């Protein structure tokens, strides 16, 4: 009789299908690294796991297993079993896993069977899948071409990636990292752990292989670190050796792009619109959630500016900080946000352009194409259409 559980050969299909997963490890393990699509419904909580682990070290496996059954019995067992049953009822394709595919996931599987539900587990558990995903990144880096979109800060590279995703294979590293990549690039949601970032990157690559197995994958030019997470060496080196396309936009357009991304479409812009919607215009509502979030965002920008103050230089740091404080005051007192363009333009001119263009010069970047964002989009679509005609594939 064939093994109904999930082996290495099944993993690509599991992730390509966005299969729901129950991770029965303790929360402390889940936080350190989990699999995309997983929910943590542990069979042992952190304290119970520690207690069982100590017993295992002192008295051996049999005593540890006995203690585990004693801890998870009666009402405690029923409550945890009910959590699994409720999740599976909503997600009938659910697969189970623990760290090595051992006692915890097998006991969970058996208790579910006793309740009339039969779900597979991942043989080898998280440890095996983690290695599979690391190998996936390495394999992709060796066998699949990349096409890297570069250009000065504010050129709209991320937007371009999104705009062409309906016709070209693309990978948004910043979305996976939940960070825009600069000192000002933190998002409202916290970044993943390093392991979670790598796991999600690998799954994204698996899906690209599933949906479009030919042609270069288009990515934005990134440094190795994106916020606190970093790209695996194999993938980063692959990016650095890939073909380059340069998006060339004038400074005014780049400032407007940054203003839209960091001011207009954030809590600052939302708070401005909310206050304008009231007739007569509403005063600054310091108890409103959106307004408080806007002020917190100004605080975050001031902190980010402080973080680069040494590289920026004392005089220029003070100049931009004064402009940022003026923009905040203008927002608080007059509900105006256009003054933010002043400090944004100076930050780009004084700091980001010299930093980015200097890096490109040191790397001796020689783009295969250079043009405005629209021209680059047209070039990429034409290139993809030509590739599709040659290979007979469609995206």
Same domain, 201 and 294: no
Residues 241 and 274 reside in one and the same domain: no
Residue 361: inside a domain: no
Count CA within 13 A, CB hemisphere, residue 18. Answer: 1
Q: Which of 48-62, 96-110, 285-299 has the lowest mean pLDDT?
A: 285-299
Q: Is residue 329 part of a domain?
A: yes
Helices 125-143, 233-240: inter-axial angle, 10-degree rounding? 20
Is the distance from CB of 29 to CB of 13 less than 8 angstroms?
A: no
Domain range for 123 is: 8-130
How many residues appear in the chain?
395
Question: What tens digit of pLDDT does each residue of 17-41 get?
Answer: 999 999 999 999 999 999 999 999 9
**Residue 364 domain-assigned (yes or no):** no
Predicted pLDDT of residue 326: 97
* pLDDT band at residue 395 using 50, 70 and 90 as cut-offs: very low
Q: Which of 98, 167, 168, 368 is catalytic?
A: 98
Assigned domain for 282 exists: yes
Lowest mean pLDDT among 124-138, 167-181, 339-353: 167-181
State which of 101, 130, 159 marks the end of a domain: 130
Helices 314-334, 340-347: crossing angle, 10 deg rounding: 160
Burial of 283 (0-12, 13-18, 19+ CB in 10 A): exposed
Does the global pTM surpass 0.75? yes
DSSP string, 67-79: HHHHHS-HHHHHH
Report if residue 80 sits inside a domain: yes
* Residue 366 forms part of a structural domain: no
CATH number at residue 13: 3.40.250.10
Write down the pLDDT at residue 391: 60
Residue 124 and residue 202 in one domain: no
150 and 233 in a single domain? The answer is yes
CA torsion through residues 342, 346, 348, 349, sign: positive
The domain total for the chain is 3
Active site includes 98?
yes
Residues 139-144: what's their mean pLDDT? 93
For the stretch 174-190, pLDDT in tens is: 999 999 888 888 888 89
């Amino acid at each position: 009789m064939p093994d109904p559980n999930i082996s290495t050969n099944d993993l690509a299909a599991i992730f390509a299908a966005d299969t729901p997963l129950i991770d029965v490890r303790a929360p402390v393990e889940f936080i350190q690294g989990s699999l995309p699509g997983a929910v943590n419904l542990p069979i042992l909580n952190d304290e119970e796991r520690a207690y069982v682990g100590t017993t295992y070290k002192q008295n051996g496996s049999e005593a540890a297993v006995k203690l585990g059954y004693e801890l998870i019995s009666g009402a405690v067992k029923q409550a945890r079993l009910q959590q699994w049953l409720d999740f599976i009822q909503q997600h009938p394709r659910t697969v189970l896993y623990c760290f090595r595919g051992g006692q915890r996931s097998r006991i969970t599987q058996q208790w579910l069977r006793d309740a009339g539900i039969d779900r597979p587990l991942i043989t080898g558990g998280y440890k095996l899948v983690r290695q599979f995903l690391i190998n996936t990144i390495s394999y992709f880096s060796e066998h699949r071409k990349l096409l890297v979109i570069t250009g000065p800060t504010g050129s709209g590279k991320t937007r371009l990636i999104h705009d062409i995703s309906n016709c070209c294979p693309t990978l948004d590293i910043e979305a996976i990292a939940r960070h825009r990549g600069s000192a000002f690039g933190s998002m409202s949601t916290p970044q993943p752990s390093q392991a979670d970032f790598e796991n999600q990157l690998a799954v994204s690559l698996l899906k690209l292989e599933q949906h479009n197995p030919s042609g270069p994958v288009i990515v934005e030019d990134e440094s190795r670190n994106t916020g606190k997470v970093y790209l695996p060496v194999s993938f980063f080196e692959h990016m650095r050796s890939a073909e380059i396309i340069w998006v060339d936009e004038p400074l005014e357009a780049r400032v407007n792009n940054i203003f839209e991304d960091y001011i207009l479409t954030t809590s600052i812009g939302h708070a401005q619109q909310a206050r304008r919607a009231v007739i007569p215009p509403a005063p600054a509502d310091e108890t409103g959630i959106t307004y408080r979030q806007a002020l917190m965002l100004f605080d975050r920008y001031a902190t980010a500016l402080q973080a680069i103050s040494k590289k920026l230089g004392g005089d220029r740091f003070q100049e931009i900080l004064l402009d940022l404080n003026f923009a905040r005051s203008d927002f608080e007192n007059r509900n105006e946000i256009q003054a933010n363009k002043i400090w944004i333009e100076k930050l780009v001119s004084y700091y980001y352009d010299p930093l980015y263009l200097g890096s490109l010069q040191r790397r001796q970047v020689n783009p295969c194409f250079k043009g405005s964002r629209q021209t680059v989009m047209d070039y990429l679509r034409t290139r993809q259409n030509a590739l599709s005609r040659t290979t007979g594939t469609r995206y």
